[in-house]
Structure 1
Amino acid sequence: MEKSFLILATLLGLVSVAVATAGTATFYNQYTPSACYGNVNEGTMIAAASDALWNNGAVCGKKYTVKCTGPTNPGIPQPCTGKTVTVKIVDHCPGCQGTLVKKILE
């Protein structure tokens, strides 16, 4: 019985669980100084966290894979490509709606 439990526990440890949350992204150009890194340029694949994720800055440096799934403003050209990108949290956007609030792309 112990051996069966150990095998089951080992197999469950190998399973990766991914959690997806729908949210809204918005965009703005300037991000320095950022709440996480001050005036250090962290590149272009970056994001700011809303209050829901911020957790007193504990989210700084964490990376998220995001995918644009559709437009929020019909009639306006949309950047959605159907592909995923990985962004790094470098800033906080207090009061902003959504989960990941800004994404700056090259």
Structure 2
Amino acid sequence: MGMELRVLMVMAMVIALTSVGSAASGTATYYTAPYVPSSCYGYEDEGTMIAAASDAVWNNGAACGTYYTVTCTGPTNQGVTQPCYNTSVTIKIVDYCPSGCQGTLDLSQEAFSTIADLNAGKIYIDYY
């Protein structure tokens, strides 16, 4: 194998491992409309690809406006068949999910249904 090809392969592996290594893991649930008011934007409509952040992400409101790419990685309930779709969704943090929140991210119903079957209710996710 030529040196250039080896260098390209090593670079591709490093990039792939870096992107996987930088993802955080957690859980996601979903909530339904109306999506206003929100903690970050009041009555301003921010669309439907949005989420509320739990204490793990909220950071005293610094998470407002942050975009995350979210991927379903599996079911949280035993006995549930694979709820994940082979896709990701990009969401914007617009709200706070108070203490006792059931997920790391509480996605809008539209965002959740992009990555998983709504019947799952709660899923494991990676987000970055």
TM-score (normalizing by structure 2): 0.61
Whether 1:24 and 2:27 are equivalent positions in the alignment is yes
- Higher radius of gyration, 1 or 2: 1
Deviation at 1:77?
8.1
Show the counterpart of 2:51: 47
Deviation at 1:101?
2.4
Q: Which runs of 4+ in 1 moved over 6 A?
A: none
Q: Distance in 1 between matches of 2:97 and 2:81?
A: 24
Backbone CA RMSD of aligned residues: 2.4
Q: Distance in 2 between matches of 1:77 and 1:68?
A: 10
Task: Summarize the alignment of residues 85-96 of structure 1 with structure 2, pairs less than 5 Å apart.
Answer: 85-95=89-99, 96=101
Unaligned runs of 5+ in 2: 1-14, 112-128
The number of residue pairs the alignment matches comes to 91
Unaligned runs of 5+ in 1: 1-14
Q: Is contact 1:27-1:103 (8 Å) kept?
A: yes
More strand by share: 2
TM-score (normalizing by structure 1): 0.72
Q: Deviations over 1:4-58 (max 9, x none)?
A: xxxxxxxxxxx8x541121110111132110000111111110111011111211
